Chains A and B, each alone.
Chain A
Amino acid sequence: MSSLISLIQAAIVFGTVILFGSTGEILTEKSGNLNLGVPGIMYIGGIAGLATAFFYESHAAVPHGIVGLLLSLIVSFAAACVAGLIYSFLTITLRANQNVTGLTLSIFGSGVANLFGGSLNNMAGGVGQISVAVTSRAYRAYFPALAGLGPVGKIVFQYGFMVYLAIIVAIFITWFINRSRVGLNLRAVGESPATADAASINVTKYKYLATCLGAGISGLGGLYYTMDYIKGTWATDGTIEKLGWLAVALVIFASWKAVRGIWGAYLFGLLFWAYFYISGLTRASSELFKMLPYLVTIVVLIVVSLRKRRENQPPASLGLSYFREDR
């Protein structure tokens, strides 16, 4: 029983990282921009938040958790937006190839983050491991009263606030895309920019905004990973990158619907951690289990392409740049 509860908890925590990543990417892709820089953006979001918390904690006389939290949250979001802005400028204004730009952004983001992460570890001195305990504790705070409500309390309430934020953002993005006027326009931009343009929608503006804000949301995944998942430290083991690609896979799995991404993310978490709770696995066979999320994504891709439902297809102009006077 308790191992089942801890599996579910592990799955939800794991899922939250990729849920942020995929929700942001869904917003981006709805504008027709295929940003494969999600891993890099999550790296940048993570390191920006961590560095902010570190400098705040080392400069403030009495660091306060909530202040550290707010500062790191804002800076992390903004830094990830800037990463999205770089991508937008290259692909929308200069009309560079989206795949190449996205992949390059991934490499760039991981390089930058690990460079600064390493420096931070050096600056922290001591055992050579940075720690932002005060801020991290604020990220991980939950209501003990609610979490004490037996197994249900543990499964539902024993998490930091970002777990719930991820769900709220995913639901809001879904509502925004499907029910609001601006969301309708955004969908049109991603499906057929020429149509959107003829309907007097500012295609460039929509693409820029969706891509930058989408990157900001994706970046929160990296922030959650550093602040909550690994408790305010920095690890150069490349886990964020792995999670970033899973987030991209989740976009496909959820067939571009952010709400579907919520349970998809937790399912990925369950599949990913399942090996840990199955006894008698060797090292090699546990690695096989870790492949499950990718296998499931492939299966979903096959099923979706067989069923050919138009609602489950990617935005029609995904990956293409738009220029009005193209003949």
Chain B
Amino acid sequence: MPNLNDILIMLPEFYLVVAACLLLLLDAFMKSTERPMLHWISIAVLLVGIYLVIAGQPAQTVTAFGGMFVRDRVAEILKVFALLTTAIVFVYARPYLIDRKLVNGEFYTLMIFAVIGIMLLVSAGSLVTVYLGLELLSLSSYALVALNRDARLPSEAAIKYFVLGALASGMLLYGMSMVYGASGMGGTPTLDLAQLHHVTSYTTAPKLLLFGLIFMIVGIGFKLGAAPFHMWIPDVYQGAPTPVTAFIASGSKLAAFGMAYRLLDAGMGDLAHQWQLMLAVLAVLSLAIGNLVAIVQTNLKRLLAYSTISHMGYLLLGLSAASPEGYAAAMFYAICYALMSVAAFGVILALARSGFECEEISDLKGLNQKSPWLAFLMMLAMFSLAGVPPLVGFWAKVLVLESAIHANMLWLSLVGVVFAIIGLYYYLHVVKVVYFDKPAEGSVLAAKPDGSLRIVLSLNALALLALGLFWGPLLGWCRSAFGL
């Protein structure tokens, strides 16, 4: 029987489940004219969630439900930023949803359920919790992609996402079953990640364990969107409603990092020498495919999709170091990436209006003439993604490169910088379109008058600059999570 203490440890998650259910009820009994209220209520729900995560943080790592759920600093930091970026996405989404008459409870409840999935995933102490969190996040995401169900492109994207996602889940589950089996050979079978850590020392089936690991890495690679498991990313990014894309590109990536960390370090830490090289290969492939294919994209959302793939390559650089420094660097990277990409999508959302998605790169022509402030914010986001100082994206890259060198993988860091040069081109291309091109004839570019969006977007993009100048505290926080 779960005791009160277990529930208290999981209070933020329980609170969000209750809140999401209440939101659904509220939605059902609300008049359609009152619906926009849901927006503010949902943001408040997430902000209270952040408060609960921070306020209830125990002094040291605690576990609940017999080790199924771990509450430590890694989880805390990831949860705070997942909730924060989702709240930002809500703010950005409002005018977009109103224009397209999509304002209803489904969007908000599904998003909150997805966030609960993220929170479970990053707090997972057992293979079952990993799978549970992952499925909650994934199923909510599938539905979110298909939110605009009458349109062809989103439906296509959702089907693709679902089919490939199901396949990846299957792979992951298959791998988990092998690991579970291997743990039972020569000992008691276990799903607990902390106990799985020691399986290598006694199992009589090391090959089975290794096979399980490989299948689990496929699942992780899919969730991260690392090449060669990246196929779904471009279509889903382009097809999904832009706010949903923003969410998949930000909060969801934090979850993927959390999942990789839990499975690989907590669960399979003893096999680090095995998975290090696998991750390095994934990193090189992601860097190559992401950066090279992005060059030829004309659709901004698709471009950002390939950019995601390349950024996951950098994140993997940090993970493959398999050291606390490397994890801290990768977590710093994941957080910075979430903030950068959500800012880039924020600019798209600030410009989109009914009948105009603003998702072609050429749609941004002459933005500096029409709205210099938005152009400036877009420039900050692009230079940060490209990794040009003094923006925070640069320091994130420096950190993962350093951790790769630290792990005696100088070659990997060289691959990383070479692709940073190639990647620079397409980010500069966007800046070029925004700043150097003249507005097209009859261009309808104009900033949305939505006040909250403007303020939050400005804060979001300026945070990239501010964090670039003062990245010490965030790094210190990330490092403290790994005991540094």
- The answer to whether A and B come from one shared complex is no
B residues in contact (CB < 8 Å) with A? none
A residues in contact (CB < 8 Å) with B? none
